[in-house]
Amino acid sequence: MVGSQFCRVEFRGAFLGVLVAALVGAVACLSMTTQRADAAPEPAPIPTRWELTLEPGPLRVMTVETPEGSKPFYYFTYRVTNYSGEDRLFTPTFEMFTDDGTLVPSGRGVPHDVTEYILRRLRNPLLLDEIQMQDNLLQGRENAREGLVVWPVRNLSVDEIKIFANGFSGETKTVFRADTGEAITLRKTMMLVHSVAGEVNTGTSRPIPRLENASRWIMR
């Protein structure tokens, strides 16, 4: 009788131990699943939608005379080629984010005369401004286009500059905000990261160094 009671107690203890272990494991798995759900999504390893070939040029600074005096502007050139298998309506957008927390769409605060001046200085007859770039992009290298993007320099004391280039891929992902449940569509975007040593130098046209290991496709 005593042996039977001892077996029952031992069995119950073992059962409770297994149950606790299972619950701990389930909580751990749920936690891992939540972390994965909350993590920023990444683009597919192999493109799942159409994609254009972006060849980004360097980011530089040019000082231009304006009615308000001399002002510095960032400028960036790029080439885009369509190997996607069909013609595409090309409507790119570019944003610049600096580590002081400023996010600026390209062209905002840039007078048309400034863009025209930079185009003349670059002496590339194939180079188009942002409005001219927005058109049907035919297939093949022979139909590649070269574009110019310009931003005002608002703060010389920044350490990092990011350019977000959108409109070069058709890949999207839908995520839901944890606080409101609102659906948000993220688009595959090229992020170009630049490092500023000390302060933005407005007296030279040398490129601002790009961190190639940090520049990549993201969902944004």
58 and 35 together in one domain: no
CB 194 within 8 Å of CB 161 = yes
CA atoms of 27 and 31, how far apart (whole Å): 6
58 and 24 together in one domain: no
16 and 78 together in one domain: no
What's the domain range around 59?
A: 53-219
The answer, as to whether pTM is greater than 0.85, is: no
Q: Count how many domains the chain has.
A: 2
CB 139 within 8 Å of CB 86 = yes
In a domain, 47, yes or no: no
100 and 140 together in one domain: yes
Beta strands in 52-197, from DSSP E residues, in sequence order: 53-66, 69-81, 88-90, 93-98, 103-105, 127-128, 135-137, 145-152, 160-166, 172-176, 183-195
Nearest to 190 by CA among 79, 77, 50, 94: 94
In a domain, 45, yes or no: no
pLDDT string in tens for the chain (220-residue length): 544 443 444 434 444 444 434 443 443 333 333 333 456 799 999 999 999 999 999 999 999 999 999 999 999 999 999 999 999 999 999 999 999 999 999 999 999 999 999 999 999 999 999 999 999 999 999 999 999 999 999 999 999 999 999 999 999 999 999 999 999 999 999 999 999 988 898 888 899 999 999 999 999 9
